Amino acid sequence: MKESSAYTIAYGYLRGFFVNHDVAFKKKWKKSIPKVKRIRKALKKDSVYTFYDVDEKTMTIRFNRELMQRFLSNLKLRDVAITLALLSSSQDSGDLFRLNIGDVYEQKNGRIFLEGNRRKTGVLYRTFFSKEATKFIKRYIQQERQNAEDGEPLFIYTARHRDQQEPIEERMAPNYLASIYRDAARRMGIKWENGEHNPLRPKRMRHLFRTACDTAGISELYTNAFMGHTNHQGQDYSELSKAKLELEYLRVEPFLTVYGEAEESLEIKEEVRKLEARTLDLNKEIQEQKIIINQQDKLLAETRSQFVKLVDFQIWKDQMEQQIREEQEAFKEKLEWQQEADRRRKFTIDGEEKWLDLFEWQEALGISFEEAEERWFKDNVKRKEQPKPKQKSRKRLAGCAKFKFRGHVRYNW
């Protein structure tokens, strides 16, 4: 055995003896323990299975909840509640297993508040269980410890001893929890060699809490108060108010929430804020579009009115042209009839009516052409001097024609 290992083991046994008898053991070796080179190898797997990485999109540190969720999926409800309690409170498993039912079940707040002294150092700690851990602990009590008294242990396990035939329920032990964690890690496919630590050991949860505090950016004073570290600033943790402690804990809680309740709540609030801003922008755009639509409707109505007027005018124009053509044709027919009437006339010869021109008439009367022409001329003058019958015609208004089309009065200027 190496010298450093012997010193470490001996010191651990002595410290364990005093701690188990509720005596704070602060004495250190006068002889310095040589540095152990195996420590770096023992923690080698911790750098492989990391729980905090950088999100390049938001340029922030993100808690790797997927890995922790995979780990918790291999545990029972009791062990899940223990893991979330260790992660969110930074307690050692030995201090956590000292709790009784009455220490947590009577608290009605969303976060369970814990206050006490660490068995290892005797330093005061004041910390919280997250809302997520509190929910799982109360669910565990309701399902598995419903009939337990306030003075009974919070977490128990069934122990089997060689000298006893029946198994008995005992307070949860740190070694038993460590074996559960090892089995769960192996089911996940995690392997480690001799001399290396399980990257998902109970002590790792305390280290993750410290990382979460550094990530959240809270002061060293509150970090030491949560973890039960010695305060080198000279201030007593008991002087810190519970409200101020909880306010600082709210900054850490999103980095300790496995199933995303706190973080998703922040994301949901941010999404709601963005949606509200987007809704305002959309409402503004809708109002602008309404104004544009109203203007387009007015323009369309004016265009439609002008189009209707244009169509009405075109129809009226076509009808007027048709009427003019009909009048021209009628006038042409009348002119042709008039010319025919001037050339031919209706005579009664031998009791029979005939239309005869000048030559035919002259032959029928048996007179000379000059005499027939003179009589024909006198008859023309006499006919033209007779009054013409009145004809119906359209009214004329100062050089314009007035027509009625579709109930409207039109004028042809």
How wide is the angle at C-alpha 381 spanned by C-alphas 377 and 383, nearest 5°?
115
pLDDT at residue number 397: 42
- Flag whether pLDDT at 388 surpasses 60: no
- What is the spatial distance between Cα 56 and Cα 51, in angstroms, rounded to a whole number? 16
For residue 261, what pLDDT band results from cuts at 50, 70 and 90?
low
Give pLDDT tens digits for 51-77.
888 877 777 788 888 889 999 999 999
- Flag whether pLDDT at 36 surpasses 80: no
- What is the spatial distance between Cα 102 and Cα 153, in angstroms, rounded to a whole number? 9
- Flag whether pLDDT at 413 surpasses 90: no
- Flag whether pLDDT at 372 surpasses 80: no
Going along the chain from its start, the domains and CATH numbers come out as 1-36 (no CATH), 46-259 (1.10.443.10), 302-412 (no CATH)
For residue 84, what pLDDT band results from cuts at 50, 70 and 90?
very high
The pLDDT > 90 percentage for the chain reads: 23
* Lowest mean pLDDT, pick from 125-139, 158-172, 319-333: 158-172
For residue 181, what pLDDT band results from cuts at 50, 70 and 90?
very high
- Flag whether pLDDT at 324 surpasses 50: yes
For residue 89, what pLDDT band results from cuts at 50, 70 and 90?
very high
Q: Span 253-279, mean pLDDT?
A: 71
User: What's the DSSP call for residue 82?
Assistant: H
Sign of torsion over alpha carbons 172, 178, 179, 185: positive
For residue 259, what pLDDT band results from cuts at 50, 70 and 90?
confident
Contacts of 226-230 spanning 24+ positions with Cβ under 8 A: 226/89, 226/90, 226/125, 226/126, 226/127, 226/128, 226/252, 227/90, 227/125, 227/127, 228/90, 228/117, 228/118, 228/121, 228/123, 228/124, 228/125, 228/127, 229/123, 230/121, 230/123
The residues with which 63 forms a beta bridge, in sequence order, are 52
**63 close to 256: Cβ distance less than 8 angstroms:** yes
- The DSSP bridge pattern shows strands 400-405 and 396-397 to be antiparallel
- Flag whether pLDDT at 178 surpasses 50: yes
For residues 397 and 325, the model is more confident at 325
- What is the spatial distance between Cα 293 and Cα 284, in angstroms, rounded to a whole number? 14
- What is the spatial distance between Cα 329 and Cα 325, in angstroms, rounded to a whole number? 6
C-beta neighbour count of 186 within 10 angstroms? 13
- Flag whether pLDDT at 19 surpasses 60: yes
- Flag whether pLDDT at 346 surpasses 70: no
- Flag whether pLDDT at 367 surpasses 90: no
**406 close to 312: Cβ distance less than 8 angstroms:** yes
pLDDT at residue number 308: 81
What are the backbone dihedrals phi and psi of residue 23, each rounded to the nearest 5 degrees, phi first?
-120, 125
Two structure tokens written together for 276:
């509200």
- Flag whether pLDDT at 40 surpasses 80: no
- Flag whether pLDDT at 289 surpasses 50: yes
Q: Span 125-142, mean pLDDT?
A: 92
